[in-house]
Amino acid sequence: MTRDHGILAGVAALVVLLSLATDTFLTPGNLVNLLDQAVVVGLLACGMTLCVICGVFDLSAGAVLAVSAIVAVVVTRHAGVPAGYAAALATGALLGTVNGVVVVLSRVHSFIVTLALGLVHRGVALVITGGAIVYPGPEHLAAFQSLSWPTVLGGVTAASLLLVAVAVVTSVLLSRTTFGRRVYAVGGNPTAAWLSGIGVRTVRVGVFVISGVCAALAGLVLAARGGSAQPDMGTLLELTAIAATVIGGTSILGGQGAVWRGLVGVLILTLIGNGFNLLGWNTTYRPIVEGLLILGAVSLDHSLRRRRF
């Protein structure tokens, strides 16, 4: 209960402060913009939450994002937008599978393995593009950017609706399915999970696949917004996603957490960035605030675990 009330009270406090400090925070335009700003990190956080609960980390998510976006653009140029989007999702799933298989077979900590594979994936992106920016072609550009279009829902973009859909699917997967229960079990105590007959390796590969698909969707959103893709897309966004996951209250040690927590963490980071912009504050200090939030969240998690045991 402490985690639930604390994180929700933090969001409420930020909303109240920004509402009182500015005249533009609660305007429809700013709220739509706020939601749109949260989409890319939010999509990454959906997949990252499953990984962290399962006791693993995916530091290659930003690189998977870049490769998937590049593949989407290249395939779109030759075969059309639907094929390009499908190719991006397949690429994310494939790279996620590679990440998971290497982690479980090497038995090296996922932090190190995905850090190394992230460099490999980023190198693949450079090889595909030759270090250049790639474009889908003028005949496909408008359709390719459909994810960035506003919808009839008050200007809310298609990308924002995509985030809502992914959040619902991953939440249901985690809280209402056998696979979700196994994710919690593996993250809480992998040895006990194995002794109970759970395929620990299969579950870990599964969460990496989900993370890869979420990264691919985030890559599609970024590519749609810019109408292009390049090898350095999404650099360090995986760290922001992990930060949001931890700030939201998902335990960094695994076994505890929820997708909604990660999204609340994303909302807090987005509110902070939006507040700095609306108030005209020097954004140089923004990383300091975010770092202190992460430190506080990790310290709280450690304190609650010690109190419980």
Single-letter residue type at 253: L
Compute the distance between CA of residue 309 and CA of residue 300 in angstroms, rounded to an integer: 14
So what's the pLDDT on residue 252? Answer: 87
Query: Is 111:57 a contact under the CB 8 Å cutoff?
Result: yes
Q: What is the mean pLDDT of each run of 10 residues along the chain (309 residues)?
A: 66 88 88 92 97 96 97 95 97 98 95 96 95 92 90 83 96 95 95 94 97 97 94 92 90 90 92 88 83 78 62
What lies within 8 Å, CB to CB, of 292 at 6+ separation is none
Residue 159 dihedral angles phi and psi, to the nearest 5°: -65, -40
The alpha carbon torsion through 263, 268, 270, 273 (nearest 10 deg) reads: -160
So what's the pLDDT on residue 301? Answer: 66
Query: Is 213:93 a contact under the CB 8 Å cutoff?
Result: yes
Q: What letter would DSSP give residue 253?
A: T
So what's the pLDDT on residue 251? Answer: 87
E-strand spans in 129-219? none
Domain residue ranges in the chain:
38-234
Query: Is 229:134 a contact under the CB 8 Å cutoff?
Result: yes
So what's the pLDDT on residue 91? Answer: 98
So what's the pLDDT on residue 288? Answer: 87
Compute the distance between CA of residue 236 and CA of residue 66 in angstroms, rounded to an integer: 11
Compute the distance between CA of residue 97 and CA of residue 115 in angstroms, rounded to an integer: 15
Single-letter residue type at 47: G
So what's the pLDDT on residue 141? Answer: 93
Q: What do you get for the CA distance between the two ends of the chain, in Å? A: 17
Query: What CA–CA distances, in Å, run from 141 to 42, 104, 146, 177?
Result: 25, 40, 9, 39
So what's the pLDDT on residue 3? Answer: 56
Compute the distance between CA of residue 81 and CA of residue 174 in angstroms, rounded to an integer: 31
State the pTM of this model.
Answer: 0.93
